[in-house]
Structure 1
């Protein structure tokens, strides 16, 4: 897929991988509709790139706001042909130590951002995307979708759900709209605000974004980035060992 001259929608565009995706897409000749919750960060991002980035504040945890966005964005930006569902929330959770009543709204918000918004954007914009001669829906998942860690069960579950959703949606597109690619970009541990202070052997957000963009250009169905390639092999050879390795990561 040639990204030069295209318009891409990127969620979670103001930080980490999303910000790097925006920078690298613009550097490669694309325009970006940048979606985020923080208006100040969006304004800063747009100012950095001029009219090549259009900032659109949306709280992806609010289903009504997402529905309004889906309804309006294709009308205001009919040239969007790539949707990158990058936004994500991870809540470290101990169901034995934490107050379950206090956790419930937090975890529902996590599910809304990580799963519900992804499904709403992918399916809501599909009728628009299929009108383009070449289009892509990209979901950013995680190696934790293959083997979960104990400290973030809901995050791992939503990433596994998005991975399965992407595969099933890919089947439908292959049958009914083969020019719309559905791509799952599976991340290792990336150096972002989400992973601050934990883990080792992280890759940079810039390298993660570059791998995603390269995979889109190759028309890959799945993009296994960094150590995820090793994890994928380990899951085939010894799932029990893979689960043990990731359990306390």
Structure 2
């Protein structure tokens, strides 16, 4: 697996494999997203999926759930890093996703309160489990989760937040200087992620993302001749604090 592409799969994990299978029936409204902010920030949609994720009997009531998800890649960041590395590193580095899970009947209409809570809890727990599994499957190591408290979202609720940390191993970067091959050794970069979930209008919302949590700076000395030695520095100029702020701003605006 190309570990540089870890975010491509991790984004959709929050809604994959919750329970059941099959094709969604009917029309489910997708989550409303801050489209202008996404456009202004250089985000590019990479996936749009609709999937039936649950079908079971709860408290004597047949309940089904359909998830509609949207996944975005920070294309502007990807392009900037690609330019800085002369095209040697061209991969998703920061992403954002949002999903709306619609229940039939809605959670509000499920007759027993404990059953409503169970359905929401099952969906939320499964989403977190799939998110973590996908991070690990994509090549991240030392994946850990912690309670991130709550976050006020645009729909008026307080979303439950799970924060993630991991390490991302990246490959060596090679290019030429004056016709001489230069190789910057690979290494490890800290990654952080967030997954928020909340109930609104009888359905469950999931949103989050992942991003580099540290900058990457590498320097290599290269002897071009007996008289000439050059020091080549690669500084990707990554801004973890800005990425964290941007992902949170997008998450809180999902409706």
* TM-score category, normalised to shorter length: 0.3 to 0.5
**Greater strand proportion:** 2
Question: TM-score, with normalisation over the residues of structure 1?
Answer: 0.33
